[in-house]
Every structure is written in structure tokens, then in C-alpha cells.
Chains A and B, each alone.
Chain A
Amino acid sequence: MKVVIFSTCVVDLEFPNVGIAMTEVLERFGCDCYLPKDQICCGQPTFNSGYAKGTQRAFRNQIDALLSVDADYIVGPAGSCVAMIREFPEFMKDDPQYADKAREVAAKTFEFSQFLWRVLGVENAGAELDGRATYHRSCHMTRLLGESESPYALLAHVKGLEMIPLENAHDCCGFGGTFSAKEPEISRQMVDAKVGHIVDTGAEILISCDPGCLMNIGGRFNRLGKPIKIMHIAEVLNSNVDESRISYLKQMPV
């Protein structure tokens, strides 16, 4: 199965480990991975700031890049960016050159954990990680992409990992893309509330499917001098893998 890796600008700029872990996990499950070099970004930073016209070029570039390899699927390590790609058909519906391509890209793009669980039917990825962890659900992954099950389902099978539920998990961490930099006084209060709830769980590890949120929460933990280990779900699922532990779902999720 051919898979195009939609690396996302955040991973390209800040999180090489996430891209590496994701590629290794996908290859373990038989995916032949490609990384089109012209891809950049889903366009969210400028589009959500109101620069609709200025973002058209980014949309078109991203669509062309992701379709430059004739792959079965496109997989990205960020729920928020994938949710954005899924909205491309709406944004490009009046663009005769790109409307069809936008639909094609949206139809085959999945968030990493979603792809493993819903498309490949992975139940246990074979990973082992000793520790107490909590999971931060990102707003865009849950509400816009509509995926709230796959990460929990996969993390439940990681050997040695104790998952502790996070209080007020539904509240935004205050990232919000450029919001975090444009409204720091509001964003700080939001991330502090999130940090407080994470500290209350007593977890040593914070896991998420969205590097943007991890950057926000992790950066605040560091500023406050509070200890935490930041892990993207791909890194967790790539930890101490024993392939004999791998199992598949008996019934595919609906």
C-alpha cells in the first residue's frame, strides 16, 4: 500500500522525531511511504487569521504536492491539519481547476492514529512504554475531524502504559495557531488551566495527536519549570515494539 506522508510544517520545523516515528510505524504495517518535497502547510495559520486570498496559493501548492505521488492514502501526524485538508473541497469548490483535486485529497487523507485504527484495523501496535500518562485531545481533531476514539483505543493496548483520564479534557489548551501569539494574555490563562489539570493527574507523560498543542503545553511546562515528558502518539506506538504483540481488530470500527 502506497502512503504519502503529509508531514505538516510544524513537524518539518520542530518535531523530526514525530515524522520519523510515524514513518517507522507505518512501514512496520506494510506501508510504502513517500514524502513529496514540495509540500509545505495546510494553510491554517494564514487562513484562520483572515487571509483567505493570500492562502489560495498555499492550498493549491499543498494539493499539487500531496497528489504528486499516486498513493492510496495520505497520512498526517496532526489532527488539526488533517481536519483542514478535509475542508479543502469546501474552500476550493468555486475553483474549476482545483475543485476535483481538492475532493480527491480530502477523501484519502487521514490522521495517523485514525489511519492505523480505522483503515489498517490495528488493535495493538506492539509497543511497550512503562509509565503513567495522560492524553490531551485536540479540539480540531475531536470536533472538526470528528475523531475521538482512535487514540484512546490504540493507547489502551500499549504494554506497561497506565492512562489517567484528564479532567476538563474538552477545554481548549489555548494554542489556536496564531491566537497563541496574538492574544498571549488570554492564551496563557488557558494553557495554565490545562497544565493544572495535567499536573493533577500525576502523569509523567503527556501524549497527543497534535504537535501544535504539544508545543503550546510543553513550552508552558518548561517555562513554569514543571517536569513532564512530551510524546506524540506515533512516538508512543513506536516504543520498544515487539512484533509478536501486534494484533488486529476482529471487527472494523464504524
Chain B
Amino acid sequence: MGIQTSDKPLLERVKESEQDKFMQASVAKSQDAQHIKREDSRALLGNWEQWRELGEQIRQRALKYLPDYLEQFSDNVEKNGGDVFFAATEEEAVDYIQKVVKETGAKRIVKSKSMVTTEIDLDKRLLAMNQGLQLMETDLAEFILQEDDWAEPTHIVFPALSKNRDQVREIFMKLGYEGDNDPMHLARFARKYLREYFLKSDLGITGCNFAVADNGMINLVTNEGNADLTMAIPKTQIVVMGMERIVPTMNDAEILDNMLCRSAVGQKLTSYVTFEKGQVAGETDGPEHFHVVIVDNNRSRALGSEFQSILQCIRCGACMNVCPVYRHIGGHGYGSIYPGPLGAVLSPILGGYQAFQELPYASSLCGACTEVCPVKIPLHKLLIEHRRIITDQRHMQHGLNNLMMEAIGIGTGFPWLFRTAVRFGHLGLKPLASKGEVHAENFIKPEGSVKGGPGLVGGWADVRDLPLPPKNKDSFRQWFAKHKENQPKPGDQKANQ
């Protein structure tokens, strides 16, 4: 699939999302439910703000010394008997994985959930390169999307959030399901279907929540246990990880797991929190061959830049669960596999401004994301940073008329110009104003309001009425000047009486 899921303009995607009433309702419901679960589970832990500071420090340290930690990690993986491959690009990552598939002669691949493999479009590429290869996503939501002809994910934690139980039932019927739309029956069917598949699999591909530098272990966090089967059954395992998934020690991983689970799903811990490093001598489960593919794919663009902090992200999805824009436009609205505030910051870095220059503007900068982020990424500030680069440095046209903004910049920089605006605001907007009924009392004036116009005024007035500015004589500044004149001055006759 790659990062970009759609090349339609933002506006078109927004309009499509608005048509999808089921999606909007289920996102709103899930946001509201997560709000309660997340806040409760954080309160249970106590001292949440201090935990955030700790989480931020751990992630910042990992990034500051990233080359060293990556080296330490890869040395340790090799010591444990595994192989490590550094992939600068998605092509390099896919080529290496393809080489392993060929060498092992794998016929049936099982995969557990991994955003980075979606990012590098691994599934479809492997299937295209290997005739007769079977490949199965085993995370329930990813399984549903795969069976729905590789439908695009809408959330990094809940990828199938936009599918309802009837849609899932229909998808499963193609696989032989005959029951009703009860989620329990549907899940039971998927479990049996996937179990049979697991038992015959010969290669497992997993993602990686955290990679522990000082012992070369991989940390995976799931609720379904499918990642554990993906590691336990096939003889070969390939772990694919973004290069920033590193944490220095087990201790750090434990702290972050705790914060990840609470932030992602509002649980103290998920059902499965696993550390592994390939087969341990004397045991029968776990892969005999263990590969780790560490993917850059433009992440290093952020390193050392004003965007470095976005690499702190632990992919909890909390920022999408609080985002009022995501609430309405959903994952598809962003046109990226990384949606929401995280996606609006990360997608232009990984995928370039050409494809994603509209995303940094799809935010009211309300700051809910920055407030909720467990590792304190200043998301809304990074969005402004993108806007700055797009306008100041790249001089891109982005719908909002540059000239108009420059005019506002000048208007807010020169006092006399602004005073002129205050003086003539009423007259200036009067031609655009029309009389109408007053519903918003103490705000819209009987003499009329603006209901349409050019440029920004039009964007505003498409949605809401704008009161006609007061006549100059009725402005606050005029009132204040008169008010001060009438006030007794110290030393005045009046003041002394």
C-alpha cells in the first residue's frame, strides 16, 4: 500500500468521510469510550505527568544516541544467533525479506500487526514476487482488511474501526462463514480459521514495539496473542522495525509498555506483553532462524531536524483518539496509513511535501494531541513548523491565498494600518452584509451580517454569519478614549471634592 492511501485532494476525502455516517459514528463512539478508559487507567497509575516526563526522557535519550544504541542492539542480536539488516529504503527492506523467503523456500507466511510493513507495502510486493505464496495477516482487524481486498487501515491501533459487524460478516462469508453478525461468533470463526493456518506456516513476520539495545530482545504488545504464535510456530522469523523503535534497557521497555497500554487501549497491560530473541537452546518453540530488518525509509530526515521529536512516538494512537478533526474525517480523510496528528506530522517527513502538503493544515491547533501524548511530542507545534516550511521556505500555494496572509501580516505589523481597519471595518464589510433575523442575540446585529464574500471572508461565511463590525464611533477604542476623558484626573477639582 505504501504510506499514501489516496491521491485525491483533502477536500474530496473530507467530503467522502462525511458521507460515511457509520464511520463517523463509530469513531465518535470509540473516542468517547477511550476517553474514559484511558483517563481511568492513567489515574490508576498516578502521577501521570511525571510518567510522561520519564517517557519523554527515555525516548529522547534513545534518539540522541541512536547510532550507538542501534549498534549495541545489532551486536546483541547477532550474539543471540540472529541476523540484522539495515535497510535505508523500503526497496532494500523488501529485497532482503524476499531473499530470506527464497532461501527458506517459504510457502505460507503468517504476519502479526506491523505499521512499518504496511508502510513498505510488504504484503503485496511479496505476493507479486512469489507465485503460489500464501500470506496471512493474523491480527483480527488486519485479517478483516486483507480479506476485504486489502482495504486501507483507518487507525494505527484499530485499523478496521470503520467496518461494522454486518460488513465483517459479509467478508467472512466469502471464507465459508455461515453464522450471524454476533462479534463473538465472528471472532470464533476467525480464530479457528487462523489457527489452522498458523499450524502449517513456515515463516513469521512481526513488527516490533520496542527493541532492547542492551540484550538484543524484541518486545511485542498485543491483545490477541497472534504475535506470539507468529513467533512460536514457524521455523523462521523476520522482525521488521522502524529504526527509532530502540530503547536502551529492559527497564525502559517496561516503563514504556506500561504507558503504551494505558494510552492505546486504556488497559494496565494488554493480554500479551512478550520479549523474545529467537529460539533458546534446549527449547522447542521459537524460530530457529531469526532476522531483524531495521528500516530507515526517510526517518533520518527527521533526525537532527526540528522534527526529531516525532521519532519519540510509540504508536499508541492516543492523539487520534482525542483529535476533533480525526473524529469527523476519520483515517481515510488523511490519505495516509499514518492518520491523525501523528500522521499529519510524520507523513510529510516520510512521504514528502508533494504528496502530503495539505495535512499540516488539517488541524485547528487545539492542542488535544500534545496534551495526551504519553511521550510529550509537541504535535501542534510541529504542525506549525510544517506550515512555516511550506510557506516561508518553499513558497507553495496551499489554497489559502499567500497574498492575503501577507496582507494580514502587514496589517498586524503597522499600528496606523490597523487603526484604519478598525475605522473602516464597518464600511468595508457593509457591501457584503445583508439584513436577516437575529438568532444569536448580543452578537449578530439587526443592521445585518456578512453571509458570503471573497477569500477568507468567504471561507468563514460559507459556514457562519459574521456580524458587521461596529461603526467607528461605536468601537471599543472610541468608547475608551471618551471614557478616559470623562474620568476625574488626579489633581482635578472634581477628584478632590
Contacts and interface: CB of A to CB of B under 8 A. Distances in A.
A180 B463 contact: yes
Interface stretch (B10-18, B68-76, B88-96, B239-247): B10-18
Interface string B359-396: 00111111110110000000000001011111110000
A53 B464 contact: no
A35 B436 CA distance: 34
Nearest to B387: A50
B409 A185 contact: no
Contacts of B438: 222
Contacts of A235: 442
B449 interface: yes
Contacts of B364: 139, 172, 174-177, 179-180, 187, 190
B469 interface: yes
A174 B464 CA distance: 12
A230 B392 contact: no
Contacts of B418: 9, 12, 40-41
A41 B474 contact: no
Nearest to A168: B32
Given A20-B479, A47-B384, A57-B409, A188 B442 contact: no
B392 A12 contact: no
Contacts of A5: 480
A55 B32 CA distance: 38
B328 interface: yes
Consensus secondary structure, chain A interface: helix
Interface string B448-470: 01010000111110111111011
Interface string B313-332: 00000000010110111000
Interface string A199-226: 0000000000000001110111111111
A185 B412 contact: no
Given A13-B469, A46-B412, A181-B456, A186 B440 contact: no
Contacts of B11: 185
Contact of B476 (A12, A170, A214, A228): A12
Interface in A26-54: 35, 37-41, 43, 45-54
Nearest to B401: A182
B414 interface: yes
9 contacts: A13-B421, A65-B415, A140-B367, A176-B363, A184-B460, A189-B18, A190-B324, A193-B324, A225-B437
Interface of B: 11, 14-15, 18, 32, 35, 322, 324-325, 327-329, 361-368, 370-371, 384, 386-392, 399-400, 405-406, 408-415, 418-419, 421-422, 425, 436-444, 449, 451, 456-460, 462-467, 469-470, 474-477, 479-480, 483-484
